[in-house]
Structures are given as C-alpha cells and as structure tokens.
Amino acid sequence: MEEIKLETLKKDLDEYKKDSKNAVLRHALSATPLSQVVASQDEVKDINFNFDIEIKTLSAANQKASGRCWIFAATNVLREIIAKKLNLKEFELSQSYIAFYDRLEKTNYTMEAIIELIDKDYDDRTLSFIVSNGISDGGQWDMFVNIVNKYGLCPKHVYPETNTSSATRDTNSLINFSLRKFASDAKSLYETKGIEAVRKLKRTVLKKIYFLLVSAYGLPPEKFNFEYTDAEGKYHIVNGLNPLSFKEKYIGDRLNDFVSIINAPTKDKPFNKSYTVKYLGNVVNGKIVTHLNVEMDRLKELVIKQLKDGQIVWFGSDVGFYGDREGGIWDDRMFDYESATGLAFKMDKGESLDYRASAMNHAMCITGVALKNGKATKWKIENSWGTDRAVAGYYRMSASWFDRFTYQAVVDKKYLSEEELKAYNAKPIELKPWDPMGSLAD
C-alpha cells in the first residue's frame, strides 16, 4: 500500500491555490450548501406539472420519521381502487396496521434464519449479515402482499398512528438488540441442550416482542364499523367488519394480479429471467419475493400501459441523487458537481449496482407521464413526505433521472407477454442476501 507523502500534499496545495476557481468555490461553500452552489438551470427548462396522462389521485400521505415508504406507496395503490369503487374524495388505509404485523413477522423470519444457521460460526458472512441488518422499516411489494393476504387491511381511523409508529428508531433498536442476544443465547443453548431448547427460547422472546409492539402500536382491531361519506356528501356505514373481511370486500384477490419487474443491467442477472434474494422476506411460508428482470425500455412500456388504463404504479428507486426535495424535482441535469469539483459522477447503471454506488432506497407511486412520440419525457410522482413539500406532495421526475435511478415497478401481469409471464412464474434464480435488489428492505 502506498502512503500519502507530505511533499506531495504541499505541491497539490500550491496547485490548488493557483486556480482562482477553487477560491470562488471555497468562499461559496463557507456559507452555502454544496448542492445550492452547483445547482444549474442550463438544461432544466421543463419543470411544469403538465402531463399527457395524469391520473386523478387522492391527497399525498406522510410517513413521518419512519422508513415505511413501501407500505405507504402500496396502500396508496389500494386506496385508489377503494376510493374509485366507493366514490371517495379523501381516504387512507392504515399503514400502521401493516407495519405492526410486518415487524412481528420480520422478527419471526429473522429468528428462523438464525436457527437455520445455528451451526455457523458467529462471523459467517451470511449469519453476520442477518444479525447486523436485523429488522428495519423497509420492505418489498411481495412482503406487503404477504401481510395483507394473512392479516387483511383496515381504514386509518380504525388503527391510527401513534408516536412510535411514526418514529420507529427506538423500537427497532430494542428489537434488534433482542435478536442479536437471541442469536448468541441460541448458539449456547444449541451446543448444551439442543434445538428444542432454542425453539422454546424463541417462543419466549417472540412473545415479549409481540407485547412490545402491541404497547407501541396499540391493540390490533378485531372488529370495526366502516363509516365514510362519499363525494356526493352521502353518509355510509358498514357494520361488523374485521381486517380480513374488509380486504375481501373491497380488494378481493386483486393483489395477486400484480408482479414485480426490475431493471438490473448486471452481468449476473440476464434479462427475461426471474430472481429472488436469499433471506429477503417477512412471512415464513409466504410468497417469495420475485422480480422479473427486463430492459429499461420494456419496463417503461409496461408502466405506461398501466397508466393509460387509469391505474397508478408502485415503483422503487434511489432518491439519494440529484433531487430538490422541497421544490419537488428529481433531475440528473440540475446539479453540476463535475464542473465544480473535477470529479466524475456518472457510472454505468450496472456498475453502479455492482459497486454499491446506487441501490433502491425509496418507494413511491407513478401517477402521470408526459409523452413525445410515445416516449416518456417526464413523470409525475406521488410521494409520502406530506403535502407541504413539492406540489402538494407530488413531484416531477425527468426522463433521464428515471432511466438512471429507477430499478423496480409493479404492474398488472396482464400486460406481460406470454414469454415474460412464463419467465416470471419459473423458479426464480436465488441471489445472495446482500444483493442490491434487496436493498429497499434494508
């Protein structure tokens, strides 16, 4: 390995001082964030919110201090179905209800993974990955499907937010410490008393975590009445529902119509094949998280088909780059870091995934698109960061940003070709637990 030499630094600093551009940047950064200094409107002209296809949707929701974006986006998809059916102007499903059971099921899933790896040393890479990650607020579309199919749904007023459901760091920390202690205790028990002692310990710890979640989120609803006023001002009440009967009445089997498509142009993931990620899941024996890998042009074509039919689209992307979160724009042309720093900030999309320069970290909904000769020029996005940002919580995304940083979309399987559907339904190729296609659940 080569060390940094002091004489080299002196030469570099002398060179730095000779370039007046460096002084301008240094002075600017003393009082202004870098993103504001390098903001550029040279190529960003079309920032209005006019779209060829624009689905009329409900008010943007707010996930607050939690990582439940995937749940908010998924419940937004379902609430539009319910709102259209019942002619509602305002409506939200309980995201807290889904998150409550997701965290419980993730805890059980993680404990089962630890037990499955009980013979491994503590520093085994897979075991270490599982224990280090623990549970989080993140998740995947198929994980949402698993929770809804097992536990159902309910309106938000039936199971409202609590302080803990909206700010999850403390309970996540407690649960993850408990999981790591379980992993340690289970190993010792297994070596001295066998697997039955480990399973008894698991049941004890899981019950205590369940009690913690009930205290944090509130008693889960067993029976409720669904009251609502439609867009015409007419009051309705449906008595004697529970979360499963509510789901059956208003959603039915609709969730089973949707499939996940991804654009992951890496050498280990040939297109038109299905993939899953080892140990990515929540409900034991539930639906396996499955992605069909397609070319980006095909992903956009399928998304646009669904938008044309009036159905919004759940999608996953990396929002860590080139975004004006307050103004409501994601555009990779709006920040000129290269001119300011001399560094290169563009990588091939596949290389970005392979070298962890980019990965999915946020889920939202596509509600509109502008087209030119059938090709997307910008997208309208429903976010879950409240209505006080962007345009009442709705964002504009450039076509080039979408191509670079969008990795996943969920579409109705009826839009897939026969060949694509066959590939999706085939046994998925299993990827390693740390593959970037699992990052949205981290």
Known catalytic residues? Answer: 69, 362, 383
How far is 262 from 140, CA to CA, in rounded Å? Answer: 12
Q: Within a 10 A sphere around the Cβ of 331, how many other Cβ atoms?
A: 22
* 156 DSSP assignment: T
Pair type for strands 375-382 and 394-398: antiparallel
Angle at 391 between CA 87 and CA 326, to 5 degrees: 140
Inter-helix orientation angle 95-116/195-217, to 10°: 160
How far is 382 from 389, CA to CA, in rounded Å? Answer: 11
- In sequence order, the β-bridge partners of residue 315 are 364, 409
Q: Within a 10 A sphere around the Cβ of 40, how many other Cβ atoms?
A: 14
Residue 65, burial from CB neighbour count under 10 angstroms (0-12, 13-18, 19+): exposed
How far is 264 from 258, CA to CA, in rounded Å? Answer: 19
Token pair listed for 85: 């059916």
Handedness of CA 261, 251, 69, 277 (dihedral sign): negative
Name which of 401, 423, 387 is nearest 349 in CA terms.
401
